């Protein structure tokens, strides 16, 4: 990858309290955090978020596993499509159940940035690389 893809590159304009933008960036970061070419992750993001408009935890969580696998495949994200679909559904459910569907509620529940990052890593499929990508652009609006 020649350069890091940021939120602005995906036309995501992060602003304080903008839940939809934060969720979109979380999904983009989740996809880019896997061992897959960044352009494929971007293409899959665009299929899921832009084409199919699954741009909130509730909308994404309303997908079936099969629908998400198909969307990921449409974006060329075929290598880990089954597990990624499962983890995206779990991410949506946990965000909805534990944090009322709001990334800012994760922040509110956190003592500090380290605690916030630890809470992010508690989501299935989110590891240090995804947190690093997400925080690169989201830190200024969250902290």
Q: What is the pLDDT of residues 77-111, one digit of tens each?
A: 987 889 999 999 999 999 999 999 999 999 999 99
Among 10-14, 53-57, 74-78, 132-136, the range scoring the smallest mean pLDDT is 74-78
Whether residue 2 is predicted with pLDDT greater than 70 in this model: the reply is no
Q: What is the pLDDT of residues 21-53, one digit of tens each?
A: 999 999 999 999 998 899 999 999 999 999 999
Long-range contacts of 16-19 (CB under 8 A, 24+ apart): 16/141, 17/104, 17/141, 18/141, 19/56, 19/101, 19/102, 19/103, 19/104
**96 neighbors 61 (Cβ within 8 angstroms):** yes
pLDDT the model gives residue 49: 98
Rounded (5°) CA angle 19-24-25: 100
Structure letter (DSSP) for residue 33: T
pLDDT the model gives residue 48: 98
Ordered by where they begin, the domains of the chain are: 13-142 (1.10.340.30)
């Amino acid at each position: 990858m020649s350069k890091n893809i940021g939120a602005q590159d995906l036309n995501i304009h992060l602003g304080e309290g903008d839940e939809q933008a934060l969720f979109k960036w979380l999904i983009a970061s989740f996809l880019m955090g896997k061992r897959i070419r960044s352009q494929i992750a971007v293409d899959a993001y665009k299929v899921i978020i832009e084409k199919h408009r699954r741009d909130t935890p509730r909308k994404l969580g309303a997908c079936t596993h099969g629908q998400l696998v198909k969307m990921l495949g449409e974006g060329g994200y075929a290598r880990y499509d089954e597990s990624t679909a499962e983890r995206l559904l779990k991410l949506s459910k946990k965000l909805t159940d534990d944090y009322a569907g709001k990334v800012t509620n994760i922040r509110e529940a956190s003592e500090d940035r380290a605690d916030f990052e630890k809470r992010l890593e508690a989501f299935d499929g989110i590891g240090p690389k995804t947190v690093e990508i997400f925080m690169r652009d989201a830190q200024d609006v969250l902290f």
